[in-house]
Chains A and B, each alone.
Chain A
Amino acid sequence: MCGATEGGLSLDGVNVAKEAVIQGQVLRSGDEPVANAYVRLLDRSGEFTAEVPTSATGHFRFFAGDGEWTLRTLAPKAQPVDTRVVAATGSVAEVQVLVSA
């Protein structure tokens, strides 16, 4: 579907034109998907907005708003990782998060 990076989460059923999608995958040791991580979406002031657990393949998705956001990723036996991302309505921001081994 429109805007999805190859190998990313399917956008079937999502009206991308009306949403500011942030999505991606959490990986450990370079390429191992982390299925039991938690990704928190923080707004421009650092305030928590939403949180999702990763899927079996380490994927996650948010429907955000236009602007700058921070993803805070928590995974077992790893330090939290903060990742800045800019979202815009009508586009999909693909993010890859690497947590320590």
Chain B
Amino acid sequence: MSRENSLVTAQWVEDNLDTDGVVLIEVDEDTTAYDKGHIRGAIKLDWTTDLQDQVRRDFVDKEQFEALLSERGVSNDDTVVLYGGNNNWFAAYAYWYFKLYGHSDVKLLDGGRKKWELDSRELTDELPTRAATSYTAQEQDSSIRAFRDEVVAAIGTQNLVDVRSPDEYAGRLLAPAHLPQEQAQRAGHIPTSVNVPWSKNANDDGTFKSDEELTKLYDEVGFDTDKDTIALCRIGERSSLTWFVLTELLGRKNVKNYDGSWTEYGSLVGVPVALGDEPGSADKVRA
């Protein structure tokens, strides 16, 4: 993969608003942002109701995903272009999710909704109509999704990258600073995980940094390119963005996103937890 295959510019999107086979989808942390205005022709996916099982803590299954995209009028051979706010964090989550279910042509709008708005490009509240399709998803691609047992086994042996903000990593905050902090779990991070905040992947305007800058970012924390990598955050959406950078922009192999992330790990009984700004050691884990 490469930047050309996985990213499009705001100008490209503006030039392709009426192109057949290009489907714009807004996926935002703020699920009401779309309703206040969106890129013309874009449909909305709500990450809380459309992409998550409403009973278990898990994604919608293959059949539900097929039903969702069929109803929204997305075809298997469409070029899906995802965008959203906050440096595309939930759009990147949706990107990873589309890949998980095997959609072949999916891209992110570089800079997302923020770049679009800062460029003063047009937003509309007009709702598009798309004819229903018959979408077929693949079985989940387990090579890009990590579960808790693999994460515990990865301590001290794989690249573990915790992409939350430094204060969350150190245990001084439990959630991003624009969300209320009360939660019933332990603070801190997985021993030996390094902290590369997801936001370091993006420029202020939300576009991704250059390949050179991104390569340097991961080299600096001692990423071993011979080892497999697991990315995590709090609920798996910011780490989707890091997964996107490592896999799609930098072409690293064997990178998984741990969507259980800190809300799962920080609630597990008996697993090691490190506090403070340092990664911590694996010694106590194995002793």
Question: Residues of A at under 8 Å CB distance from B?
Answer: 14-15, 18-19, 36, 38, 40-41, 43, 45, 47-53, 56, 61-65, 72, 74-77, 80
Cα-based distance from A1 to B215 in the complex (angstroms): 48
Cα-based distance from A45 to B166 in the complex (angstroms): 10
**B206 shortest CB reach to chain A, Å:** 8
Residue among B173, B178, B179 with the highest chain A CB neighbour number at 10 A: B178
Q: Which residues of A contact B182 (CB under 8 A)?
A: 15, 18
Question: Known contacts being A48-B199, A74-B118, is A63 close to B172, with CB within 8 Å?
Answer: no
**A85 shortest CB reach to chain B, Å:** 12
Q: In the complex the two chains form, is B178's CB within 8 Å of A19's CB?
A: no
Q: Which residues of B contact A43 (CB under 8 A)?
A: 165-167
Residue B114 is within 8 A (CB to CB) of chain A in the complex: yes
Residue among B33, B85, B118 with the highest chain A CB neighbour number at 10 A: B118
Q: Which residues of A contact B200 (CB under 8 A)?
A: 48
Question: Known contacts being A56-B36, A65-B173, is A76 close to B178, with CB within 8 Å?
Answer: no
Chain B facing A: main interface SS: loop
Contact of B178 among A51, A72, A80 (CB under 8 A): A51
**B14 shortest CB reach to chain A, Å:** 15
Q: How large is the interface on B (under 10, 10 to 19, 20 to 34, 35 or more residues)?
A: 20 to 34
Question: Residues of B at under 8 Å CB distance from A?
Answer: 30, 33, 36, 85-87, 114, 117-120, 165-167, 172-173, 175-182, 197, 199-200, 204-205
Q: Which residues of B contact A52 (CB under 8 A)?
A: 86, 178
Contact of A65 among B85, B119, B177, B204 (CB under 8 A): B177
Question: Known contacts being A53-B30, A76-B120, is A62 close to B177, with CB within 8 Å?
Answer: yes
Q: In the complex the two chains form, is B180's CB within 8 Å of A19's CB?
A: yes
Question: Known contacts being A43-B166, A56-B36, A80-B204, is A50 close to B178, with CB within 8 Å?
Answer: yes
Question: Known contacts being A43-B165, A63-B180, A63-B181, is A51 close to B87, with CB within 8 Å?
Answer: yes
Cα-based distance from A75 to B117 in the complex (angstroms): 8
Contact of B114 among A18, A19, A38, A56 (CB under 8 A): A38
CB closest residue in chain A, given B205? A74
Q: In the complex the two chains form, is A19's CB within 8 Å of B204's CB?
A: no
Cα-based distance from A75 to B120 in the complex (angstroms): 9
Q: In the complex the two chains form, is B204's CB within 8 Å of A49's CB?
A: no
